[in-house]
Chain A
């Protein structure tokens, strides 16, 4: 997914002279062809996120579309104020590409885990937040980021994630993607949690539970119309995300559903990272299982919400 994303930046830059790339201190050889072919639009600015985001804002004020890339935690936590003041307040065309959203950097420990990037950026006016499910969806997203007005956060997953989306389904920033129909429960996903939802829905179907899936590659602005359309038809809603349960997609869905006052009221659960700093290492999959962000948990949660024995 990361490779696809950065390759897309390169491909898009070849045809659009407004596109600039800024990295902090990325791996050797990152976007080598970009640097060789368009040296005047490729910058590796060092481990200076506050400056990098400000500099990106300065370039965007001069009419450029600036793609900035580093590790998710550093591009969100470290320079949050620059994102708010320099980028969001001025509604500039800066695209923040965060490597390793969620629990990807499990072996590196809590300094490298982006557990709340979605939550904190959601609170910023003018910000668009995306977390696609796989490289195919990334390929459909990136061309739309060029002319999208205002800042975008592009959350990347681990890489080599299985392809779970369909090339045939139209992709639009700000639009939810219905992946499956069902009248018993609705699963709402973002990023790689779509896969768990798909597996869970298949297992539930074997037991006679029909589960809809609404995939939200754009978390902000949230496609409330699609959400309420699907929510109205089911008894229970489960949101699955690789982000703290505070302030992320689960919170966003809860806000919309609660304020809509759907009748009868919906049963509702969030599956995500609990309100803790992870204190284990291992792999991303290990931590996902540790925090029960997985297929089994989706199945059992739906099962419990529907009062099945």
Chain B
């Protein structure tokens, strides 16, 4: 059983700010996948703050890095970051899951900055392989980043794609797994154990590293080092906590997805974020 974090790194103000935004989106939408949105915050923040190349004014810029949130149910975090970076106006955030909004409960390419529809799990890595392969064949410099869930790695298509990525030596492809060790029903250990997880990715041909998925500096370091090995795709197992930053929601299945969120719950979440370490 892997468990990288020895000592939790405190959340800084930026991480708290992003979490507040996520809660506000949940409040307006009245629903959403909470736990997974919170476990993803630092992974996506580091990617969008300094790793990915993109142009919000020209979302289809051919030289952009391709980013696929294959665990599409974590989309609120992605929406908050895309809006902050200028891909679409803030008012769209407040129409999350509404009839007249563009932001649904899973990513859709009609939203500027989103490459593909995800939500059904096990789709992102095969699509990412196709994109990375074309980038290689064209000698294009851009990279492809795919963020997967741990539960998502139950899907056989993930491992079919992993074999293909290794076969094609796609060192321009990075798979990041949000390993919060919880899926909808229960823990990943109980539902369908992934261990030895890091060794599996290695065995499937990925140069693999593990990192505390809430440690911003550690994430920056590991992402600065990709590709870890020339001629091999990279995998980063990000050890995270589902519901991170809201102690009463952490590792609690009742907070995997919530609908009909009450005002009092929103207050409690915002208070918890202020107190979060």
- A binding-site residues for B, Cβ under 8 Å: 40-41, 45-46, 48, 50-64, 81-82, 85-86, 89-90
Contacts and interface: CB of A to CB of B under 8 A. Distances in A.
Nearest to A57: B127
Given A50-B156, A54-B157, A86 B164 contact: no
Given A48-B163, A54-B161, A58-B129, 5 more contacts: A48-B161, A51-B157, A58-B126, A58-B133, A59-B134
B137 interface: yes
Interface stretch (B27-35, B116-124, B203-211, B221-229): B116-124
Contact of A61 (B120, B122, B130, B160): B130
B135 interface: yes
B131 interface: yes
Contact of B134 (A48, A62, A85, A86): A62
Interface string B135-165: 1010000000000000000001100110110
Contact of A53 (B109, B125, B126): B126
A85 B117 contact: yes
Q: At the interface, is chain A mostly helix, strand, loop or mixed?
A: helix
A55 B137 contact: no
A56 B160 contact: no
B163 A55 contact: no
Contacts, number: 84
B61 to A, nearest CB: 13
Given A55-B129, A58-B131, A59-B133, A89 B161 contact: no
A61 B161 contact: no
30 contacts: A40-B137, A45-B164, A46-B163, A46-B164, A48-B160, A48-B161, A48-B164, A50-B160, A51-B160, A52-B126, A54-B125, A54-B127, A55-B127, A55-B130, A57-B130, A58-B126, A58-B127, A58-B128, A58-B130, A58-B131, A61-B130, A61-B131, A62-B130, A64-B134, A81-B120, A85-B117, A86-B116, A86-B127, A90-B109, A90-B116
A145 B40 CA distance: 42
The 3 closest A-B pairs by CB, nearest first: A58-B130, A54-B126, A51-B160
Contacts of A81: 120
Contacts of B133: 55, 58-59
A46 B135 CA distance: 21
A7 B269 CA distance: 62
A86 B118 CA distance: 9
B115 interface: yes
Contacts of A51: 126, 129, 157, 160-161, 164
B134 A82 contact: no
Nearest to B124: A54
A8 B134 CA distance: 23
Nearest to B162: A51
